[in-house]
A and B are shown apart, each in its own frame.
Chain A
């Protein structure tokens, strides 16, 4: 199941579906990094609202995505981590250290726009 990536101005938006396998997550990681280069995007939003489970592999992949994209000079925000998913992540000992998070798509866009202003 491929994750659709939308381009909106300087920002790429990837929206996760509920049942992503490891292969899907790896595919998303390569696709995002490639598209950031191709569209010269300055920000990426990964919307995980629909994700039912965030296990160690998914967390690690999200962190890798954010770090790779930062190396390309763009910013990543993870949005929409559900309260119960956040609770399970904390119990499991997973953190998204060094990765920006926001409540939802709107907050994520606001965060990136603020970042772009300070970068200019």
Chain B
């Protein structure tokens, strides 16, 4: 069950800043340490950047996750862009097609606890990540 749901439309570099700021505030509200909030904000920044670079527009949704004995934050980044033809390749360090550092997705996976990705060529990409409060 989630109590909070924050939606941020991503269509420009300004929205990347907005999404990560909202993510940091929510993480702090949920009781994450400032260090963990920085990790979460950094992951959101990378996910939002992928939307702007590859799909031009999309959405970041931030939610709390209330487990039976734990609390976490869930971040979903979705777009209806070109999709990723080879997800396995995109998850390996050093892979990039837009001239970025190509560390986006594997890095995000290291920053967060849970990581899920669904991508269909021509239809879009949805990345869902979670971090649990220690």
Chain A interface (Cβ within 8 Å of chain B)?
Answer: 19-23, 52-57, 59-60, 82-85, 87-89, 91-94
Contacts and interface: CB of A to CB of B under 8 A. Distances in A.
Contact of A53 (B34, B35, B38, B106): B38
B21 interface: yes
Interface in B117-132: none
Interface string B4-37: 0000000001101100110010000000001100
Nearest to B111: A91
Contacts, number: 73
A52 B13 CA distance: 16
Given A21-B16, A87-B39, 20 more contacts: A20-B17, A52-B38, A52-B41, A53-B20, A53-B41, A53-B45, A55-B45, A56-B100, A56-B104, A56-B107, A57-B49, A82-B38, A84-B38, A87-B35, A88-B38, A88-B111, A91-B42, A92-B46, A92-B103, A93-B106
19 contacts: A19-B17, A52-B20, A55-B45, A55-B46, A56-B101, A56-B103, A56-B107, A57-B49, A59-B101, A87-B35, A87-B39, A88-B42, A91-B39, A92-B42, A92-B103, A92-B108, A92-B111, A93-B103, A94-B107
B16 A22 contact: yes
Contacts of A52: 20-21, 24, 38, 41
Contact of B110 (A22, A59, A84, A91): A91
Which bucket holds chain B's interface residue count? 20 to 34
Nearest to A60: B101
B34 A84 contact: yes
Query: Which are the 9 A-B pairs with shortest beta-carbon distances?
Result: A92-B107, A22-B13, A55-B45, A84-B38, A84-B35, A88-B42, A56-B101, A21-B13, A93-B103
